Amino acid sequence: MGDSWKSRKVVIVGAGAVGSTFAYALAQKGLADEIALIDANRDFAEGQALDLAHGLPYYPSVQIKVGQKQDYAGAEVIVVTAGAEQAPGESRLALIKKNKTIIELIIEEILDQQSQAVIVVATNPVDILTYTALKHTGWPKSRVMGSGTVLDSARFRYLLSQHCDVDVGNVHAYFLGEHGDSEFPAWSMTHIAGVAIDDYCPVCKKCMSWLLERKEIVKTVRESAYHIINYKGATYFAIGMALVRIVGTILQDQRSILPVSTLLEGEYGIQDVCLGVPCIVGQGGVKQIIEAPLFQEEKEALSKSAVILQNVINQVLIQD
């Protein structure tokens, strides 16, 4: 290997359910040369890394190890999944403050190492913590993003494909806004095999009342995480794949358009908040925000999401 060869290193902070599932999926895709797992619980990270590394004969070529803060220096992408669990009786705001402190400590260590990486935040509430991470780094906004509504959009595409009984690969669709209760479907951007959804529904004839059934699909997307958490306590497989999609497009400079959480500075008439909007993502992070010509009600839904997030930012981040 020549001197110019540079290892594609991905550091994952938080080796819990989301971090380890992402590591497992990433290793199988062969997108990274090195995966380093960091966790506040060092023994746990050790166990996770060993368990993952024992699959080495069966992955494409990759190294998997427990990471340390020095790994931030050579990382191409740092994915943050570290977070505290909600304690019994603890308010959502208190949990946000706790996770904000965790993110800030992680960012301090990343800065100490003069890292040139792109940071992808997955810890919830993802839009608020992406904003925290961005402000704390002082980096260009392109280099700090959140997983945004990439997972929600995958759920939306899956449900549409099931409903229309077509390959999910033929479904192009986005959920936008807050990764949370105020997220919404961008019907204006929804296409099946290139046909706008409003034109596709009358010819598809798979449902009795497409307006009612669309409402049901949207409700199911919004409530997905609650249902899965009720069934098994956490969600991690699909977010693991969504993170592979985001990190893959960064490592391979694919310039995929994904609804990651990014700082808006006037786009869509919104200022100083991070939320999920379509972005061209590639090497170096977010290359461009795509200002899609949304329907009027979608523009209003995006603004509503922004106001909700700005209120939380004011409560949690500014009045600290």
Ligand X SMILES: NC(=O)c1ccc[n+]([C@@H]2O[C@H](COP(=O)([O-])OP(=O)(O)OC[C@H]3O[C@@H](n4cnc5c(N)ncnc54)[C@H](O)[C@@H]3O)[C@@H](O)[C@H]2O)c1
Kindly state whether residue 17 participates in binding ligand X, applying the rule CB under 6 A: yes
Cα distance between residue 250 and residue 6, in whole Å: 15
Task: Name the residue nearer to ligand X (CB basis): 85 or 253.
Answer: 85
One of 10, 12, 14, 31 touching ligand X (CB under 6 A): 14
Task: Name the residue nearer to ligand X (CB basis): 176 or 192.
Answer: 176
Size of the site for ligand X (CB under 6 A): 31
Structure tokens at 192: 């099946």
Distance of CA 50 to the CA centre of its chain: 26
Q: Which residues contact 244 (CB under 8 A, 6 or more apart)?
A: 22, 25, 26, 29, 31
Cα distance between residue 163 and residue 116, in whole Å: 43
Kindly state whether residue 112 participates in binding ligand X, applying the rule CB under 6 A: no
Looking at 60-68, 120-128, 188-196, 310-318, which segment touches ligand X (CB under 6 A)?
A: 120-128
Tell me which of 54, 163, 179, 191 is the catalytic residue.
179
Contact 39, 16 (CB under 8 A): yes
Task: Name the residue nearer to ligand X (CB basis): 187 or 237.
Answer: 237
Looking at 8-16, 211-219, 249-257, 279-287, which segment touches ligand X (CB under 6 A)?
A: 8-16
Task: Name the residue nearer to ligand X (CB basis): 83 or 282.
Answer: 83
Tracing tokens 């992680």 back to the chain, one arrives at 106
One of 19, 248, 276, 282 touching ligand X (CB under 6 A): 19
Task: Name the residue nearer to ligand X (CB basis): 18 or 251.
Answer: 18
Kindly state whether residue 123 participates in binding ligand X, applying the rule CB under 6 A: yes
Q: How far is the CB of 222 from ligand X (least distance, A)?
A: 13
Looking at 23-31, 76-84, 202-210, 267-275, which segment touches ligand X (CB under 6 A)?
A: 76-84
Kindly state whether residue 23 participates in binding ligand X, applying the rule CB under 6 A: no
Cα distance between residue 111 and residue 77, in whole Å: 14
Cα distance between residue 214 and residue 221, in whole Å: 11
One of 115, 130, 132, 147 touching ligand X (CB under 6 A): 147
Instruction: Name residues contacting ligand X, limited to 215-244 (CB under 6 A).
Output: 234-236, 239
**Active-site residue flag, 179:** yes
Kindly state whether residue 91 participates in binding ligand X, applying the rule CB under 6 A: no
- How many C-beta neighbours within 10 Å does residue 202 have? 8
Task: Name the residue nearer to ligand X (CB basis): 160 or 239.
Answer: 239
CA–CA distances in Å: residue 285 to residues 78, 94, 262: 11, 30, 10
Cα distance between residue 302 and residue 69, in whole Å: 37
Kindly state whether residue 53 participates in binding ligand X, applying the rule CB under 6 A: no
Kindly state whether residue 105 participates in binding ligand X, applying the rule CB under 6 A: yes
Kindly state whether residue 18 participates in binding ligand X, applying the rule CB under 6 A: yes
Q: How far is the CB of 249 from ligand X (least distance, A)?
A: 16
Binding site for ligand X (CB under 6 A): 13-19, 38-41, 44, 81-85, 102, 105-106, 122-124, 126, 147, 151, 179, 234-236, 239
List residues with catalytic annotation: 179
